[in-house]
Amino acid sequence: MLTAKQHELIRFIQQRLEETGISPSFEEMKEALDLKSKSGVHRLISALEERGFLRRLPNRARALEVVRQPEDVTPSRASGNVVPMPAPRTAPPEPANDVIELPLHGRIAAGAPIEALEGQSTLPVPAALLGPGEHYALEVSGDSMIEAGIFDGDFALVRRTDTARDGEIVVALVRGEEATLKYLRKESGMVRLDPANGAYEPQIYRPDEVQVQGKLAGLLRRYH
């Protein structure tokens, strides 16, 4: 069963696609559903995507497709009753792009650990670069991950999580003070943070000294 808000969102997206051929922006969806922030819209879309009702079209941001309707019904906002949802009249044209404003939490080391600064800035990111879940951005400082294609000045797009599999690139908080971007390895009861640059040595810590704060989900690079 879908929630009332999930029903409302599918209905609103489908109606906008039928009327204009363009999926609504996150701001329009926020206002239509009377939500307080775009992050609430992002969570709804991620949940519907995971359950197979929506699909993000690749390489574009404002690009949502209604894959299927929830048994062609949707809750009425006024009464909570279920009312019929008309079938789409024609296949809508390909939607355009949308952008999500991610929290930008300062800089993170791809070298020796440096402080990851909390800040009030945001970074506009194409939604197509992000999968489900909550995300934030960090500016990369250093060259220890260049062999993984991560360069100084890149923006790391991070999915917030406190767990990761062996071999994944993570944001690791070391000893509660410094954050670094590295491959996570577990070895002989210790945690090893591996660089992707032969000029750097792995960093080895006790498990209680390392806290995973997210997994790398993508990169954004600006050219000046």
pLDDT tens sequence across 59-68: 455 577 788 8
Per-residue confidence (pLDDT) for residue 202, from 0 to 100: 93
Which CATH topology does 4-84 take?
A: Arc Repressor Mutant, subunit A (1.10.10)
CATH match of 99-220 with 2.10.109.10: yes
Count of C-beta atoms within a 10 Å radius of residue 40: 16
Helix (H, G, I), strand (E, B) or coil at 196: coil
- How confident is the model at residue 112, as a pLDDT? 57
Active site residues: 144, 182
pTM passes above 0.85:
no
Query: How distant is the alpha carbon of residue 66 from its chain centre?
Result: 20
Angle among Cα 113, 117, 118 to the nearest 5 degrees reads 145
| CA dist., res. 195 & res. 193, Å (int) | 7
Give me the residue spans of the domains in the chain: 4-84, 99-220
Which DSSP letter does residue 51 get? T
- Pick from 92, 74, 99: nearest CA to 6: 74
The residues of the chain scoring below 70 in pLDDT are: 1, 57-62, 71-97, 111-120, 224
Q: Looking at residue 224, what is its pLDDT? A: 58
How far apart, in whole angstroms, are the C-alpha atoms of residue 167 and residue 184?
5
**pLDDT given at position 116:** 55
